[in-house]
Structure 1
Amino acid sequence: MPVLELQGITKHFGAIHALTGVDMSLEPGEALGLMGDNGAGKSTLVKIIAGNFPPTGGEIRIDGQPVQFSKPVEAREKGIEIVYQDLALCNNLTAAANVFLGREIKSGIGPIRWLNHAAMVKRAGQLFAELKSETRPRHLVRQMSGGQRQAVAIARTRLSNPKIVLMDEPTAAISVRQVAEVLDLIRRLREHGIGVVLISHRMPDVFAVCDRVMVMRRGRKVADKMIKDSSPEEVTGLITGAIHGG
């Protein structure tokens, strides 16, 4: 059974039709590449899945059950996490502090509570080990590479044992070596049975780690193909409109 299903999703912003009748599915442990030009509707679709705003029409199902989200915390409670392009990390804090930001582990008796830094460092270290990342819990984020920052953001999603992780352009502004690190992180998520939706403009990344590619154009889905049955040339044609999807 798909962990996520979208059926006939539409979104209108006044007279602007951002999405029209979009269907999508995602299996546990599957990576789906979401591609399309700027304005194709990719980010709008992902923000609907993440609970940032409700669809105008259509249905979202998690594990076969219809759901409605009015805010991101409701999507998170259903197992959906998102890693935004800007990562939303605090540069002046350690990796461990960023992983637990807003979800800190506290100790104490009765009303007297304090942050349990040792427990957070230990758990963050376990998460980085699971992701096979060299990121260190006590290191400051401002001293980290782009790949290590991604590891911090992805480790943060793992705290809640998510079913689905949505990733918005995770390799847009990092070096070639760091791109390889991030693609390995995506593979680790898949190994843990987590479904991944990867928004990317980078064709090599999608073809390296995704099982399927879904192409959007002007708010509509124009193709949904297995990677093994497609090619970068075909996907480029679908994105530009030179090839019409069936």
Structure 2
Amino acid sequence: MGATSSNQQQGTLIRFEGIGKTFGRVRALIDIDFAFMRGECIGIAGHNGAGKSTLMAVLAGVYAPTQGRIEVEGQPAPRYDARAARDAGVRCVFQELSLCANLTVAENMTIVHPQLRGRGWRARATALMREKLDEIFPGNGLKCNELVSDLTLTQQQMVEIARGFTVTDTPVRLVILDEPTSSLDAHTADQLLAFVRHAAQRGITCVLITHMLGEIERVADRVMVMRDGGIVGVLPRDASSRTAIIQAMGQQLEADRTPAAVRGHDVRSDERAFRWNVGAHKRTSIEASRGEIVGFAGLAGQGQTEALLAIHEAATRHGAARVKVAFVAGDRGRDGVFPVWSIAQNLDMRWLLGGAKPRHGLVDRSAARALVEAWRTRIGIRGAPMNAGILSLSGGNQQKVLFARALASDATLILMDDPTRGVDVGTKRDIYRLVHDEAEKGRTFIWYTTENEELSHCDRTYVFRSAAVTRVLAADECTEEALLAASFEEQAA
């Protein structure tokens, strides 16, 4: 008997009937009918702004539905809030991490597990976190007495996930994972997906929201496809191919841009190449020619982001041959968006950085509006008017704003720290097209990505380990096997 049939016999854990959610005049959810079965893995797919995160916030009790009813284990739940969700065994790993940076890993456990108090609470919290981290991410090397602010984004994601699956008093029955692999490398993501399948087999319902459709194919028993706040299809496991999901999302199936290995990218090698020495003791030499797309790869946390920051510093250092450079941050919450500013202000910052041409000594607001509107249309920023706060957008749309900000500048060097985190498949294709088009105009891109398939768009790839480069792979050498081998190699002599 298949996994789904077995789970259906076990019964429904939580049922949504006619669930709707509005924010003012915005209808975020429309007539959601869905049953979350015990012990199954449910994949949720849809474009940015489709309502996925809002639906999960209702499931976690963060938002009360505007209409509809919720049942828990067959019983009506007239007051379904965060406490009721927790009592039902619901846990959530949100897309935007909720860790407190000034606390240690162990201390962050008490935020969602208030039962960890009294004498010996720290030792118990440490033991619980250590056990769960080792179960989900073997060989992680994390220490529970470290401050969260000292961890990489990947390590923070691992802590958040482990905390969500940890049991203190109420058993964990359903875990929501909202873009859980967006900042994990391929190896660590594989560990998580294997654990998710194992957890479902043990009776824990896992809800996986991700734009990585291959991950949904691998682990989901059913796939809920959302568009414009509603469910447009529920696909069983044997019909949830990447092609079927994309078609249900309403995306056009277009061939991806020809990879660099075949494309014969017109790198301007006759022009003087950029060159930097970065990494531990400046042992790593990075080169990039004008019009070239250079990839950074390897396991997460091996010095790729630090290399990008070192390049940015070298390119902008006072007294050096300065290069106009733009940076697309990977951790948008900490390093990317200005949370109290509008979407438009976050996108066009030339007035702040001195790059805009003033009119009569003042900012040319009409030119700024035209630029913002042009990039809103070009990159498909949706979900709120451009004068709304940046935090009113979904995480994926916030990432689009950061990408548009970089390309709207006059920078000749674009540094990208995993820029497609939380971005839907259609937008990814648009971003790839924009990168190629801008490279052909002479812009240089240095692109760190945790998605190995994206490296096919790069002319060369530097593979990092322990803050040094182990191999440099040409476009036609950049296979999954070669990347994995290089990721575990020591630095090349």
TM-score by length of 1: 0.84
How far is the alpha carbon of 1:231 from its aligned partner?
A: 1.5
Residues 117-161 of structure 1: CA deviation (Å, up to 9, x unaligned): 222222323333443543445352455555543342233222242
1:185-211 superposed Cα distances (whole Å, 9 cap, x missing partner):
322432331101111111011111111
Q: Which has the higher contact order (CA 8 A, sep 6+)?
A: 1
Worse-superposed segment, 166-175 or 209-218: 166-175
SS in 2 for 1:44: helix
8 Å Cα contact 1:10/1:18 also seen in 2: yes
Distance 1:210 1:147, change over 3 A: farther
The 10-residue stretch of structure 1 (2-11 or 183-192) with the greater mean CA deviation from structure 2 = 183-192
Deviations 1:70-106 (A, max 9, x none): 6423311221111011221234544333233352633
Aligned residues: 237
SS class of match (2:123): helix
Quote the residue 1:117 is aligned against. 122
1:169 counterpart residue number? 179
User: Aligned pair 1:138/2:144, yes or no?
Assistant: yes
The alpha-carbon deviation at position 238 of structure 1 amounts to: 1.1
Contact 1:164 1:196 in 2 (8 A): yes
Give the letter for the 1:59 counterpart: R
Q: Name whichever structure is richer in helix by fraction.
A: 2
Letter in 2 for 1:72: A
1:124/1:137 contact within 8 Å kept = no
Contact 1:37 1:240 in 2 (8 A): no
- TM-score calculated relative to the size of structure 2: 0.44
C-alpha distance 177-195 of structure 1, shift in aligned 2 (>3 A): same
Partner of 1:156: 163
Tell me the equivalent position of 1:66.
Answer: 76
Is 2:91 the counterpart of 1:81?
A: yes
- How far apart, CA to CA, are the structure 2 residues paired with 1:240 and 1:66? 34
Q: Which stretch of structure 1 is more off in the superposition, 46-55 or 184-193? A: 184-193
Asked if the contact 1:151/1:182 (under 8 Å) is kept, the reply is no
Instruction: Note the residue ranges of structure 1 that are not aligned, 5 or more in a row.
Output: 108-113
Verify: 1:229 aligned to 2:254, yes or no.
Answer: no
Between the aligned partners of 2:110 and 2:197, the Cα distance in structure 1 is: 23
| Distance verdict in 2 for CA 1:123–1:61, change over 3 Å | same
Distance in structure 2 (CA, Å) of the matches to 1:147 and 1:30 = 26
- Distance (whole Å) between structure 1 residues aligned to residue 125 and residue 160 of structure 2: 15
Higher strand share: 1
Range with bigger deviation, 179-188 or 209-218: 179-188
Q: Which runs of 5+ in 2 are unaligned?
A: 1-10, 254-493
CA distance in 2, matches of 1:63, 1:137: 38
Distance 2:55 2:122 in 1: 37
Deviates more, 1:188-197 or 1:51-60: 188-197
- Cα separation, 2, equivalents of 1:218 and 1:212: 20
